[in-house]
Amino acid sequence: MDKYVIRGGHPLTGTVDISGAKNAVVAILPATVLANGVCRIENIPNIADVATALEILASLGAMVRRIDRHTVEIDSRTIVTQTVPHDLAKKMRASYYFIGALLGRFGKASVPMPGGCYFGVRPIDQHLKGFSCLGAKVMPMKNGMIDAQADQLQGSSVYLDMVSVGATVNIMLAAVCAEGTTVIENAAKEPHIVDLANFLNSMGADIRGAGTDVIKIYGVERLYGTTYSIIPDQIEAGTYMAAAVATGGDVTVCNVIPKHLESITAKLQEMGAEIEEFDEEIRVSASGRLSHCNVKTMPHPGFPTDMQPQIAVLLSLAEGTSIINEGVWENRFRYVDELRRMGADIQVDGKLAVVQGIPQLTAAPVKAMDLRAGAAMVIAALAAKGVTEIEEIQYIERGYEDIVEKLQKLGAVIERVTEDDPGLQQAL
Ligand code: UD1
């Protein structure tokens, strides 16, 4: 039971380097299954979800070689099974990308229902519909396993009933070596969709239109090994930007693609933050009380739902009343009870939250309810008066590389401690 112990009230200053994107790498690692050769992936974030994805690849029989902390080589020519083990699949949501990848390469896949953060029901009907459209036979679920098979996948037209990142990824993976052309309509447009398409194209795929809502995939016979560098993490960058603003700091967030951050930048400016954009950096500073604003989360290029808990912390500290409208998930306000412990004044009604700003949050023992909710607790603790302890940090470490060290470098007073560590009380 490890915890973060944070003494709030120190403005963050300096520079922080953003790691490779979690949601890109968790799609690209399964995609290496499709290669007839060695894939070298660079700028890999050192996070728990990557470790799990690599363990899954190794369990299938792929040769996985860590070159250094951020580079890995995968040779999937040695894969011997198409079944993903339960204990690994339940550790992460994106384990279901192995369905599309294994189906695309071997014409069969047996993958347990995935784990990951709970935001209410997370159906996968659109993924399964996509596989069926390509001619796969998807069996009724048995013992929590999803089984799919196809003699030869056939390109087809797939219309997604709602914009789904996961379904877009899974259908791309299955379709890339199918016979003929697949068209995904109402496709997701997130930066990690484009990154996956670029990766697959560098392996010899022919995918066009990624980043728009119509993606065309011209099936090819074989994919080859490649060398590829993962894009920077949009949400990690947004999280440090929000932390800078919450503490009234001045932080330059390095190794980012500013275009990916536009919706976040716009909201922070609306709240009164100063933002300067450079080619691969963004400088964020804030002073004085923030202004209230309304936020609606939407698929890209809208405001990302994965930044909703972090922006809620800022709105909790802003002058006046703000409304948050969660437009993607049915239940993404579970962190609000934790934030209330720190004094936040937030009322939730279904997918709406009404935030009445207060001048100061106060320290309290809180939990990370999920990955981004945990990041929000860290931001709240950095801004709060007093010493906050955050439990359940394993959620945070699924997606944030070296968060403690990166924050310490920015001047935050934060320690990672083990609960029975006698040094806990003296940690700060
Ligand atoms: C991905 C991200 C997650 C982010 C989310 C929305 C990864 C690994 N995770 O999750 O961090 O919060 O996008 O940006 O990239 N839906 C269905 N049926 C389906 C699929 C989805 O009804 O078959 C619904 C979901 O319940 C949700 C909405 O569609 O309401 C969007 O979900 P989706 O984009 O698929 O999210 P994930 O890919 O799971």
For the stretch 393-416, pLDDT in tens is 999 999 999 999 999 999 999 999
Residues with beta carbon inside 6 Å of ligand 1?
23, 26, 93-94, 122-127, 162, 164-167, 188, 305-306, 328-329
pLDDT at 422: 54
Say if residue 176 is in the same domain as residue 206: yes
Residue 304 has pLDDT above 80, yes or no: yes
Within-domain flag for 52: yes
Domain end marker among 210, 229, 248: 229
pLDDT at 141: 83
Residue nearest to atom 21 of ligand 1 (CA): 164
Q: How far is the CA of 166 from the centre of ligand 1 (A)?
A: 6
Query: Which of 117, 133, 177, 293 does the annotation list as catalytic?
Result: 117
What whole-number percentage of the chain has pLDDT above 90?
92
What is the arithmetic mean of pLDDT over 349-376?
97
Residue 72 has pLDDT above 70, yes or no: yes
Mean pLDDT of all residues in the chain? 95
CA distances from 374 to 19, 62, 216, 239 (A): 18, 33, 37, 11
Residue nearest to atom 37 of ligand 1 (CA): 166
Rounded Cα–Cα distance for residues 302 and 314 (Å): 18
What is the arithmetic mean of pLDDT over 279-284?
98
Say if residue 207 is in the same domain as residue 275: no
Domain end marker among 205, 229, 253: 229
Residue nearest to atom 9 of ligand 1 (CA): 23
Q: How far is the CA of 286 from the centre of ligand 1 (A)?
A: 32
Q: Helices in 176-307 by DSSP H: which ranges?
A: 191-202, 234-246, 262-270
Q: Which residues contact 98 (CB under 8 A, 6 or more apart)?
A: 30, 33, 56, 60, 84, 89, 109, 111
CA distances from 60 to 7, 85, 110 (A): 44, 9, 11
Q: Which domain holds residue 47?
A: 22-229
What is the arithmetic mean of pLDDT over 266-289?
97
CA atoms within 13 A on the CB side of 233: 27
Task: Say if residues 385 and 8 touch (Cβ distance below 8 Å).
Answer: yes
Amino acid at 208: R
CA distances from 133 to 128, 159, 175, 394 (A): 9, 10, 10, 38
Within-domain flag for 84: yes
> What total of structural domains would you count in the chain?
2
pLDDT at 121: 77
Mutate to test the pocket of ligand 1, among 23, 99, 165 (most ligand atoms within 8 A of CB): 165
Q: Which atom of ligand 1 is nearest to the CA of 371?
A: 11
Q: How far is the CA of 288 from the centre of ligand 1 (A)?
A: 36
pLDDT at 269: 98
Q: How far is the CA of 124 from the centre of ligand 1 (A)?
A: 9
Using pLDDT thresholds of 50, 70 and 90, give the confidence band for residue 120. confident
Using pLDDT thresholds of 50, 70 and 90, give the confidence band for residue 184. very high
pLDDT at 421: 64
pLDDT at 426: 56
Burial, 15: exposed, middle or buried (Cβ in 10 Å; 0-12, 13-18, 19+)? Answer: middle
Bond preceding residue 45 cis, omega within 30 of 0: no
Q: How far is the CA of 104 from the centre of ligand 1 (A)?
A: 21
Say if residue 287 is in the same domain as residue 322: yes
What is the arithmetic mean of pLDDT over 7-23?
98
Mutate to test the pocket of ligand 1, among 146, 162, 297, 398 (most ligand atoms within 8 A of CB): 162
Task: Say if residues 14 and 404 touch (Cβ distance below 8 Å).
Answer: no
Residue nearest to atom 32 of ligand 1 (CA): 164
Active site residue 117: yes
Within-domain flag for 427: no
Say if residue 248 is in the same domain as residue 176: no
Q: Can you give the pTM of this predicted structure?
A: 0.96
